[in-house]
Amino acid sequence: MRKLNIIGWLSVIVVAVVLTIQFIPVERNVSTVPAGQSFERTEKVPANVAAILKVSCYDCHSNNTRYPWYSELQPGAWFMARHIKKGKEELNFDEFNNYSKRRKKAKIKSIISQIEKDEMPLKSYRMMHGNARLSADKKKELLDFFRDNEYSK
């Protein structure tokens, strides 16, 4: 029987760790209320803008996330959970109606700025979700909507 060399032992350890971490659960971001429902209703969001928000924003900025296959694997699930938590802390469309008027104004201005600078959706999100990319037309639709919002003035 051959003895394992150092690379062999390291490979066994890495495989064991990767397999073990698969059993560590991650809390899911799932609510019984559809994502963006209250925001879309109170802010009178047109259907075309609502569709863009659903695909490009709500996974990280609402109480509901559509989970792709890779979210079942660690460490990807941890990475996603951290992004979702941070995203919801920055802006949660499902909680938007609970924000103060001042906070709503700040969030709308931030949304406009981040769309203009191509900072949102995050590049890492766009890499895995090609349909979340904002074309020039989609950016214009979103910017027109948010610039016309009462909180942007």
Nearest to 67 by CA among 53, 51, 83, 89: 83
Q: What is the pTM of this model?
A: 0.76
Measured CA angle at 122 (ends 34, 82), to 5 deg: 65
pLDDT in tens, 84-99: 899 999 999 999 989 9
pLDDT in tens, 98-140: 999 999 999 999 999 999 999 998 888 887 778 889 999 999 9
